[in-house]
Amino acid sequence: MSSTGHSSSSLPAMIKRSLIATVIAFLLFLPTLGIKTAASGGVDGLFLIYRWTLLGVGCGLIFIARMAYELFWAPKDGEQKPIKAPSALARALGSSKVAKTVGPVLLAFAIVFPFLPFSDRYILDLGILIITYVMLGWGLQIVVGLAGLLDLGYVAFYAVGAYSYALLSIHFGFGFWMCLPLAGLLAATWGIILGFPVLRLRGDYLAIVTLAFGEIIRVVLLNWRSFTGGSNGLSDIPRPSFFGIPFNQSEHGFAATFGLEYSSMQRIIFLYFLILALAVFTFFVTARLRRLPIGRAWEALREDEIACRSLGVNTVNTKLSAFAIGAMFGGFAGSFFAAKQAFVSPESFNFMESATILAIVVLGGMSSQLGVVFSAIVMVGGVELLRQLQFLKSVFGNDFDPSQLRLLLFGLAMVLMMLWRPRGLVSTRMPTVFLKDKKTVSASMISQGRG
């Protein structure tokens, strides 16, 4: 495109660009807005309803929006778009001082959260879900954020953890605390098994193979009926007890032992603190790992693999350790998931889960643990929030189900993110070691890794 052709601000050029946008919108809207299938109720099955007015309104809105953009917001001729300084929020999240205060505040809030007046069972379940995703995000961050290896099959390790707990507790009667390290160990082993074949792969190829790996695990779980129960899954998984004291109404139960009135909430609160403890453990271990030689080697691997080898860093071991340790935390989280649900089935471990966890890491920022917390709240909590928007029914009619818009908003959020924060909420990184003062490294310096 010539230099004048694109940024020309003459009126005909603007109208031309707006018309092009409208034509593209028309082609997109034609099958989505223009045509609706409806059941006829008879033997014919489906017939088509044409909604030309709606289509016209949609295209008109696009034209008006594009014209408005051209007239008011688009950069004018010869005007260089200034490089935006990071927003105040992003700068604040990136600085270590703020991270040091926000972190403990969030933790304190998480601790008192179950005892707040509005915390009913639903809210607490949501809290458990969010913290599980935070933990998974921190685990995947090691692989994707630090080592720069794009892993689209992370949910496989979550599945390995969940099935490890389910099978070990059903067949051998192992308790939760016994299964937890075993599940982590098994997931780490599978991390290494995945790691070996992909050592030489980079970029798109690595992404495809890890994606396939995630699917293989799910399909095996689905088809190995004698072992995993197939699509029926495994049910009656023993629920975790409070150090041997079960949460039930019997006289040896938790309520009776501590002289409390029995309530099903006690178990939920226990599960909440269990996942919180696991997440805090994950936080401290991953934060510590990052500052150790191994964590620096992960980041160096992301920056330049050849330079790593020239300095005597064993890149094979370094990659495998990233896969294994990332997978281990996935295994811990999976083990908790199985314990909480008392039921696992392959349904819970589809690609959408991998995509959600990856989106949390990418949205949060590749190397910021705090960023992952915020993005997990947005991604998981935001979707739940949609279910609450029942008042929209009064606007759009009773057929309107806001939670059906989930994927649309998901896509919209991704597009907005690409525009405004292409490197995530917190895109800077903190050095792992410093001489005089710790300065944040700006995102433009940091390599995204080609692996």
Partner 1 sequence: MSQPLLSVNQLTMRFGGLTAVDAVSFDVYRNHITAVIGPNGAGKTTAFNCITGFYKPTSGDIVLRHKDDTEFKLQEMEDFRISQTAKVARTFQNIRLFGGMTVLENLMIAQHNHLMKASAYTIGGIFNTPSYQRAQEAAKKKALSWMDRVGITDRADDPAASLPYGAQRKLEIARAMCTDPVLLCLDEPAAGLNPKESEELNALLRSIRDHDDVGILLIEHDMSVVMEISDHIIVLDYGRKISDGNATEVRNDPAVIKAYLGVVEE
Stretch binding partner 1 (CB under 8 A), from 15-23, 119-127, 254-262, 435-443: 435-443
Question: Per rule CB under 8 A, is residue 303 in the interface with partner 1?
Answer: yes
Question: Per rule CB under 8 A, is residue 431 in the interface with partner 1?
Answer: yes
Contact between 55 and 30 under an 8 Å Cβ cutoff? The reply is yes
Q: From the CB of 316, what's the least distance to partner 1, in Å?
A: 9
Q: From the CB of 429, what's the least distance to partner 1, in Å?
A: 7
Contact between 245 and 270 under an 8 Å Cβ cutoff? The reply is no
Q: From the CB of 437, what's the least distance to partner 1, in Å?
A: 6
Which CB sits closer to partner 1, 85 or 306?
Answer: 306
Which CB sits closer to partner 1, 48 or 311?
Answer: 311
Contact between 425 and 368 under an 8 Å Cβ cutoff? The reply is yes
Q: How many CB atoms lie within 10 A of CB 145?
A: 31
Answer for which of 98, 273, 441, 450 binds partner 1 (CB under 8 A) is 441
Q: From the CB of 295, what's the least distance to partner 1, in Å?
A: 9
Q: Is the dihedral of CA 370, 280, 319, 350 positive or negative?
A: negative
Stretch binding partner 1 (CB under 8 A), from 2-10, 75-83, 176-184, 290-298: 290-298
Rounding to the nearest 10 degrees, give the CA dihedral for residues 21, 23, 28, 34.
130
Question: Per rule CB under 8 A, is residue 85 in the interface with partner 1?
Answer: no
Question: Per rule CB under 8 A, is residue 185 in the interface with partner 1?
Answer: no
Joined together, the tokens standing for residue 436 give 């005089």
Q: From the CB of 127, what's the least distance to partner 1, in Å?
A: 28
Q: Which residues contact 347 (CB under 8 A, 6 or more apart)?
A: 231, 233
Q: How many CB atoms lie within 10 A of CB 325?
A: 24
Question: Per rule CB under 8 A, is residue 289 in the interface with partner 1?
Answer: yes
CA distance 403 to 389: 8
Which CB sits closer to partner 1, 119 or 367?
Answer: 367
Q: Is 391 exposed, middle or buried (CB count within 10 Å of its CB: 0-12, 13-18, 19+)?
A: exposed
* C-alpha to C-alpha distances, 368 to 140, 191, 339, 365, 443, nearest whole angstrom: 12, 23, 29, 6, 12
Question: Per rule CB under 8 A, is residue 312 in the interface with partner 1?
Answer: yes
Answer for which of 16, 252, 288, 387 binds partner 1 (CB under 8 A) is 288
Which CB sits closer to partner 1, 87 or 442?
Answer: 442
Answer for which of 311, 352, 407, 412 binds partner 1 (CB under 8 A) is 311
Answer for which of 156, 300, 339, 370 binds partner 1 (CB under 8 A) is 300
DSSP-based three-state secondary structure for 429: strand
Stretch binding partner 1 (CB under 8 A), from 28-36, 48-56, 274-282, 425-433: 425-433
Joined together, the tokens standing for residue 433 give 């070691």
Q: How many CB atoms lie within 10 A of CB 401?
A: 15
DSSP-based three-state secondary structure for 420: helix
Which CB sits closer to partner 1, 88 or 435?
Answer: 435
Question: Per rule CB under 8 A, is residue 66 in the interface with partner 1?
Answer: no
CA of residue 80 relative to chain centroid, distance? 36
Question: Per rule CB under 8 A, is residue 91 in the interface with partner 1?
Answer: no
CA distance 163 to 143: 22
Answer for which of 70, 151, 215, 299 binds partner 1 (CB under 8 A) is 299
Answer for which of 100, 121, 225, 309 binds partner 1 (CB under 8 A) is 309
Question: Per rule CB under 8 A, is residue 151 in the interface with partner 1?
Answer: no
Rg value, the chain, Cα: 25
Q: How many CB atoms lie within 10 A of CB 165?
A: 31
Question: Per rule CB under 8 A, is residue 388 in the interface with partner 1?
Answer: no
Helices marked H in 377-442 — which ranges? 382-388, 392-396, 406-420
Residue 193 backbone phi and psi in degrees, to 5: -60, -40
Strand (E) or helix (H) holding 113: none
Question: Per rule CB under 8 A, is residue 328 in the interface with partner 1?
Answer: no
Question: Per rule CB under 8 A, is residue 445 in the interface with partner 1?
Answer: yes
Q: From the CB of 441, what's the least distance to partner 1, in Å?
A: 5
Stretch binding partner 1 (CB under 8 A), from 52-60, 84-92, 265-273, 300-308: 300-308
Number of chain positions touching partner 1 (CB under 8 A): 38
Which CB sits closer to partner 1, 214 or 451?
Answer: 451
Which chain residues interact with partner 1 by CB under 8 A? 285, 288-289, 292-294, 296-297, 299-300, 303-304, 306-315, 321, 429, 431-439, 441-442, 445-447
